[in-house]
Structure 1
Amino acid sequence: MTVLYEDAHVVCDDDALTIKRYYFPVGSKRIPYSEIRRVDDTPMGWLTGKLRLWGMGPAPYWFHLDMERPGKDRCLVLDRGSFVKIALTPDDHEAVLALLRERTR
């Protein structure tokens, strides 16, 4: 396994994306790129995710634990075909977006 990107929140390797601190109280979620149907670059506002440190708000997006999220303006929304989508806020938004778009085509 070759790590292509890693920060405090995510790891992108050759085959999958791993989201750190996804489950309570701690626990990672590994998602093969082949399971991701779509990746959206989505703005976050005060009512649409910026204040959500962990879990799900009114929108059907599950946010991993990220204490720095209030300082971020965008998230990546991963669609795996279920009602609840995964909202991801990596430290280098552009790098992870490029990797996911390349690997999920």
Structure 2
Amino acid sequence: MSTPLFYDDGQIQLDREALTLRRYHFPSGTSKVIPLRDIRGYRVSPLGYLLQRFRIWGSTDLQRWLPLDVSRPLKSTLVTLDVEGTFPHPACTPARPDEFVVVLAELLAAQDG
């Protein structure tokens, strides 16, 4: 059985066309829609215990920007995206990180193929 190529946890939506980070822009809370063709890669890392975990919205290091997520202190995985022409790098903390990374990897591989 193949993995469905779709992910949505209420904060992040990923499909064959784009990755949508809801409540991304400050202070308006509008979404950021990133076409998959613009994503060059991604990095998965543990979410820091002090600075990143309790940063509900924005940036702790000016290298990446995180959308509003009040449940971030309960999460443990940070996904940072390498998006063409975007700085700081968009980042997110998926509710189901293993599932998100599998779907993202498959969709990006399909873009290259």
Name the TM-score class by shorter chain: 0.7 to 0.9
Name whichever of 62-71 and 52-61 sits farther off.
52-61
> What secondary structure does 1:79 align onto?
strand
Paired residues of 2:77 and 2:94 also in contact (CA < 8 A)? no
Paired residues of 1:9 and 1:19 also in contact (CA < 8 A)? yes
Match of 1:99 in 2: 103
Within the alignment, does 1:69 sit opposite 2:72 as a pair?
yes
Name whichever of 41-50 and 63-72 sits farther off.
41-50
* Runs of 4+ deviating beyond 4 Å: none
How large is the Cα RMSD of the aligned pairs?
Answer: 1.6
Pick aligned residue for 1:15 from 8, 14, 17: 17
Higher strand share: 1
Aligned residues: 103
Rg larger for: 2
Alignment of 1:10-49 (within 5 A): 10-23=12-25, 24-49=27-52
> What secondary structure does 1:50 align onto?
coil
CA distance in 2 between partners of 1:49 and 1:8 (Å): 20
Structure 2 unmatched ranges of 5 or more? none
CA distance in 1 between partners of 2:37 and 2:7 (Å): 18
Residue by residue, what CA displacement relative to the aligned partner does 1:26-51 show, whole Å, maximum 9, x if unpaired? Answer: 21111111101111111111244111
> What secondary structure does 1:37 align onto?
strand
Letter in 2 for 1:15: E
Match of 1:86 in 2: 90
> What secondary structure does 1:49 align onto?
coil
TM-score, normalized by length of structure 2? Answer: 0.82
Superposed displacement of residue 83, structure 1? 3.9
Percent of aligned positions with the same letter in both sequences? Answer: 33
Alignment of 1:51-62 (within 5 A): 51-62=54-65
Superposed displacement of residue 59, structure 1? 4.5
Residue by residue, what CA displacement relative to the aligned partner does 1:47-99 show, whole Å, maximum 9, x if unpaired? Answer: 44111100111251100011010111111110114441111111111111111
Structure 1 unmatched ranges of 5 or more? none
